[in-house]
Amino acid sequence: MFTPRSRRAMLAAAAMTGAALLALTGCAGAGAGAEEAAYDPDEKVTLNFTWWGNDDRATRYQELIAAFEEEHPNITIDGTFTDFPSYWEKRKTEAAGGGLPDVFQFSDSYLREYAEPGLLLDLETVSDYIDFDAFDEGLRATGALEGTQYSLPTGYSAWAVFLNDGLIEQAGVEPYEGGTSSEEYTAWMKSVTDATGGAVFGGTDMTQRIQTFENVLRAQGKNLYTDEGELGFTEDELRDFWESGAEARDGVTVPQQRLEEIAPKSGFGGNLTASEASWSNFLGAYLGDSGAASVTLVAPPLDEPGAKDLYRQAGLQVAISADTEHPEAAALWLDFIVNSEQAGEIFGTTLGFPASETKLAGTTLEGIDKQVADYLDSVADRLGDAPPVPVVGYGSLEQTFWDLGKSIGLGALTVDDAVQQFFTEAEVILG
């Protein structure tokens, strides 16, 4: 059996010689370009690659691209990026027109939506160029649908609360300890807002994010959606959740209008708030956006002691278009992103805690990377099984949830109207 290092060496050797030429058959998931493809290591190839993120992520990707191009001088990576909402709008347009990038940062939220119509390459068709064995079976499965592997995770994260240590110290309040009830967290946010006179707010409205609602449901033994592709909650449950944020929205959390003024930065990144909830891999981005000297991660609120509301979220993935004209070269680049030690060295935990053992081998767990690792260890007893594969259209539902939450914050919608709009939209998306 190959070790991770020897297998990577084998993959590189196969890429640089003619000994591992592939003759891919035209099966579902393998695009027109893959049908007649045979990899020529001397052919000059340009691959389009895109991702969502901020400037920090872009700088790291450019460094990784340079390392890959040095190792594969015949392959040029043309990289672009944008923010998360714009990213998926552009992919939707490309999917409709048959022009998805050769390789693109992907999310398991869109797995059914892109895999079922045959928009993603079946990675087994280029398996000689990708090290699947470096992944834990459960993490690898996050990119599979009905036995077919369509994407691979860059890493995994868990939901967390971020604290700007400097702003909290300036406010003269004790840091939030994490893992308390929602009521206690709201009280802590109020103490920050009161202490600063609103110059810095305690946090952002937690009820805007579908992930917070997901944690509430999971603490009760439920999920956002079922294995059958239906919503796992009722209108009343959603109404109760949004209404639970009314007290915080009344002068405790940062006003939505202030957030609109600094978009696409978040309140935390723009130093308007002392805390914010997001995925643990955002630590590097938050430090970059805010300029904070230090940021602490603590467990999010929990109203059901002992519940396993959190999970290893491996939603940030990489996929290949089914229509790429260069499937083998695309596979080499995908493998480099998710498996190479260089990726581990360059990205650390900023794309999630490394999901593959070969990428982890290149990651030095110190500084912010050790912080993320320590945080994941600290919430291990709250980590439960991953939810079902997201329903078709989950990405759109997630964005709808966020948009409606912001409209509630702006006073443009009542909670009742927002609930009605969400379920109307869900009915259309889920059919």
* CB contact set of 399 (below 8 Å; sequence gap of 6+): 85, 88
- Whole-number pLDDT of residue 395: 82
Task: Return averaged pLDDT per consecutive 10 residues of the chain, 431 residues in all.
Answer: 38 38 34 52 96 93 98 97 90 91 94 93 97 93 93 96 98 98 98 98 97 97 88 97 97 97 93 97 91 97 96 94 97 98 95 95 94 96 89 87 97 98 93 75
Within 197-320, where are the H helices?
210-219, 235-243, 246-249, 256-262, 283-290
pLDDT at 12 (0 to 100): 42
Burial 190-216 (b: 16+ CB within 10 A, else e): bbbbebbeeebbbbbbbbbbbbbbbbb
What fold characterizes domain 159-312+379-430?
D-Maltodextrin-Binding Protein; domain 2 (3.40.190)
Pairing type for strands 45-52 and 103-107 reads parallel
> How far, in Å, CA of 150 to CA of 115, rounded?
7
Instruction: Report how far residue 372's alpha carbon sits from residue 348's, in angstroms, rounded to the nearest whole number.
Output: 10
C-alpha–C-alpha distance, residues 204 and 274, integer Å: 9
pLDDT for 106 = 97
- Find how far residue 396's CA is from the centre of its chain: 15
For residue 46, CA distances in Å to 11, 165, 325, 330, 359 come to 20, 44, 10, 10, 24
Residue 397, pLDDT score: 92
**Residue listed under structure tokens 């990213």:** 87
**Superfamily classification of domain 4-157+314-375:** Periplasmic binding protein-like II (3.40.190.10)
Looking at the chain, the domain(s) classified CATH 3.40.190.10 span 4-157+314-375, 159-312+379-430
What would you report as the CA-atom Rg of the chain, rounded to the nearest whole angstrom? 22
C-alpha 401, offset from chain centre: 17
- For position 33, what pLDDT does the model report? 39
pLDDT at 38: 66
DSSP 163: E
